[in-house]
Chains A and B, each alone.
Chain A
């Protein structure tokens, strides 16, 4: 969605009644957004900062009457969701074996396709990652937490660090599964 001149004017007037001061604040907020996106290891921080600003401008008519506090804080709140969305769409893939080929068999059932693709993607993980994720998620429900603690102990890391490791592998699997589904869809049509 494009940012209209009206929305942009409203945004500036919200930042400050004086246009010059509003301009200075806008630049400061944008710089803060870019800095934080960069801290979050986003390769395109400026692009995301602009997306966040656009969204604030579009949302502004709904919130302007009830908003209390510094406008900058609202930008950061919107930026959080932009960041989350970004990482959901763009996920690091270098952890997967780049040589691994995903066969393009024809599958018609959605659930079956997802399961098939996940199996393929599991095979693409390196053995260490595969062992970790299998131990993290596998086994009986009742013993899962204890096993995770034991796994963290064996790896000599905190539980929180183990969670993050599992989360990263899971993200890779998700991205790989998504790509695989898209490939299969393409081959079907």
Chain B
């Protein structure tokens, strides 16, 4: 009977102030009378605090949390939130956040605290800068100038013809150097592009004859990840994704369980990154997408099959 009264969902509603006074009271009685339910309720509270601190609450839940938890609880009880924040910072060990160029620009253009610098003046500075960048710089650099990378290649002298035991020519492209500095006088073959390749997958299984749209081209040994965009109709706050290999005969074989899905703003497309080392050519794979329900349980959302070439 107790389980009917109190479960994860009810516990969340308890802390968010979404229960009627009668239901609220019943839970208080239950938790006071039974240490296990008391702990259960505390654990639900801790989870909710975590979700608040990690920005995992929906906007409605966030509002309720701020209204019913942060405002109504005594100061001592609210300290849990501060501790959770400190814990998040500790575990994430976030580097110092540097504002992006766009953010800095936005801040600068809205700098209304200085009345002597009106927005129009700023705008004209930007326009003048753009004109200089577009017309004057190419003229100064001459007709042969191009993007920085090309310019660098032009300045780089051809590698010496002398053979070296450490720079023997190889058919396979070299792995990218961990150091960002490339010395111009070294015989370094061109680096492969670092951009990940993407493929959009829709839910479901492959048709019998194969489906070109769901075939994913992979390059063995390519240093960049393969991005799979999973189209979904079901929206969840968070997702888990598992990569499975589907043998011709037999059960699916789990390859990797810790793909980190990221969802698009509208929640319709989930992006997962797969290391090419996990995949082999001419195989069928499946990504099992699971969503985190309101009660914290995982629910299967969709399966996405694809073949590698």
Q: Which residues of A contact B (CB under 8 A)?
A: 36, 39-41, 73-74, 76-77, 79-81, 83-85, 87-89, 111, 114-115, 118-119, 122, 134, 137-143, 145-147, 150, 160, 163-164, 166-167, 170, 173-174, 177-178
Considering only residues 221-242 of chain B, those with a C-beta below 8 Å from chain A are 238-240
The CA of A77 and the CA of B46, in the complex, are separated in Å by: 21
A137 contacts B91, CB within 8 Å? Answer: yes
Cβ contact within 8 Å between B89 and A170: no
B22: shortest Cβ distance to chain A, in Å? 9
Query: Is B82 within 8 A of A76, CB to CB?
Result: no
Kindly provide the distance from the CB of A148 to the nearest chain B CB, expressed in whole angstroms: 10
Asked if B90 lies at the interface with its beta carbon under 8 angstroms from chain A, I say yes
B193 to A: closest C-beta gap in Å: 26
Residues of chain B within 8 A (CB-CB) of A173 are: 83, 87
Chain B residues with Cβ below 8 Å from A174 are: 79-80, 83
Interface size class of B (residues with CB under 8 A): 35 or more
- Chain B residues in the interface with A (C-beta under 8 A): 25, 28-29, 31-35, 38-40, 42-43, 46-47, 50, 54, 56, 74, 76-77, 79-80, 82-83, 85-92, 238-240, 257-258, 260-262, 292, 296, 298
Question: Which of these, B32, B43, B258, contacts A143 with CB under 8 Å?
Answer: B258
Contact, CB under 8 Å: A143 / B260: yes
Q: In the complex, are the beta carbons of A81 and B28 less than 8 A apart?
A: yes
Q: A79-B32, A145-B298 are in contact. Are A118 and B25 (CB under 8 A)?
A: no
Q: Are B82 and A114 in contact (CB under 8 A)?
A: yes
Q: Is B86 in contact with A115, judged by CB distance below 8 angstroms?
A: yes
**C-alpha spacing A87/B41, complex, angstroms:** 13
Which chain A positions have C-beta within 8 A of B83? 114, 118, 170, 173-174, 177
Instruction: Check A160 against B86 for contact (C-beta < 8 Å).
Output: no
Complex: chain A residue closest to B272, CB-CB: A142
Q: Are A145 and B90 in contact (CB under 8 A)?
A: no
B86 touches A114 (CB 8 A): yes
The chain A residue sitting closest to B297, CB to CB, is A145
Residues of A within 8 A of B80 (CB): 88, 174
Q: Which residues of B contact A87 (CB under 8 A)?
A: 42
B83–chain A nearest beta-carbon distance, Å: 5
Q: Smallest CB–CB gap between A64 and chain B, Å?
A: 15
Looking at the assembled complex, report how far the CB atom of A117 sits from the nearest CB atom of chain B, in whole angstroms. Answer: 8
Which of B29, B86, B262, B292 has its CB near the most chain A CB atoms (within 10 A)? B86
Asked if A41 and B35 sit within 8 Å, CB to CB, the answer is yes
State how many angstroms separate the Cβ of B301 from the closest Cβ of chain A. 14
A146 near B257 with CB under 8 A, answer yes
What separation, in Å, do the CA atoms of A41 and B83 have in the docked complex?
Answer: 24
Report the minimal beta-carbon distance from B267 to chain A, rounded to whole angstroms.
14
